[in-house]
Amino acid sequence: MKKYFHIILLLVLAACSKTEEVGKSQLVVEGWIENGGHPVVMVSESIGIATGREMGASSILDHIAKWAKVSVSDGTKTEILTGIPDSDYFPPYIFTSSAITGEVGKTYTLNVEYKDYNVEARTTIPEPVPIDKIYVQSVTDTTAAVRVCFTDPPQKGQYYKIFTKTEGKDAHYHPSAMTNLSDESLDGYTEVFIYSTQRLMDSIDWPNIHVGDVLWIKLCSIDEKSFRYWDNFEIMLASNAFSMYFETDLESNLDGALGYWAGYGVDKEVKFTVTDPNDK
């Protein structure tokens, strides 16, 4: 059975967890909002998987919760998000609204109502931290080890997640593997390796950044609950690399569903062309 590196799909398949009864469904919510952007939320139900059963895209599509009522409040106003098809994502259906725009420092409350589910979560958009520099440290064959550099502020309580997309391959940003960072272990100037973009419907492929790739990179400041979620998610992937079982009890800010609702503080998106530093 293929492994997929996209949170919705992993959790849609999460009903095959060792601790879950096959056939039991749970609501799965993946949502985020960043400063200057609008909320994006995807809602599905998990699928119970029997050993040996083949899973395809049509199985996932059948479990999209298109009739969910999804709303976001910024503390002053509450907007019901509109569900629309969007082929840039998979499952290709999102809830969004241009009436809500993310602002640094604001807290956003997400509510999802679907069937007997009633889900609530809160997240805050932290102050963005700029990227200082990006460079290629080394190249093996055509595979590149890229470093993203930034300066962690002296005050405590910063958490980060890096997202990437590659021109010609990706319609939207994906998580970069193993780039969940806490200033519990950072102090000032910091360099982080990015090796891999976790793409939906790709088997495990690490590293997968190559010479010639044109990358777009976002360093996102996140709150502590979002960090804990992504950190546990990465641990789950690593520990289940050769197993079909996934843990569904990851620490999350969602009450009543699997998944997450995250605020991202982004200074700017940075374009970077991967070249071999040994080429003159």
Q: How far apart are CA 12 and CA 27, in angstroms?
A: 8
User: Sheet harboring 69-73: ordered strands across?
Assistant: 78-80, 69-73, 107-114, 117-124
Mean pLDDT calculated for residue range 131-149 = 93
The model's pTM? 0.86
Question: What is the share, in percent, of the chain residues with pLDDT greater than 70?
Answer: 78
Name the residue among 256, 157, 186, 266 with its Cα closest to residue 219: 266
Which of 270, 60, 29 minimizes the C-alpha distance to 150?
A: 270
CA distance 189 to 129: 12
Transcribe 84-119 into DSSP letters: EE-TTSSSSEEEE-TT--B-TT-EEEEEEEETTEEE
CA angle 172, 175, 180 (to 5 degrees): 150
Q: What are phi and psi of 239, to 5 degrees?
A: -80, -15
Residues 6 or more apart whose Cβ sits within 8 Å of residue 193: 137, 145, 146, 147, 178
**192: pLDDT confidence band, cut at 50, 70 and 90?**
very high
Segment 171-190 shows an average pLDDT of 87
Write down the domain spans for the chain: 7-273
Who has greater pLDDT, 63 or 138?
138
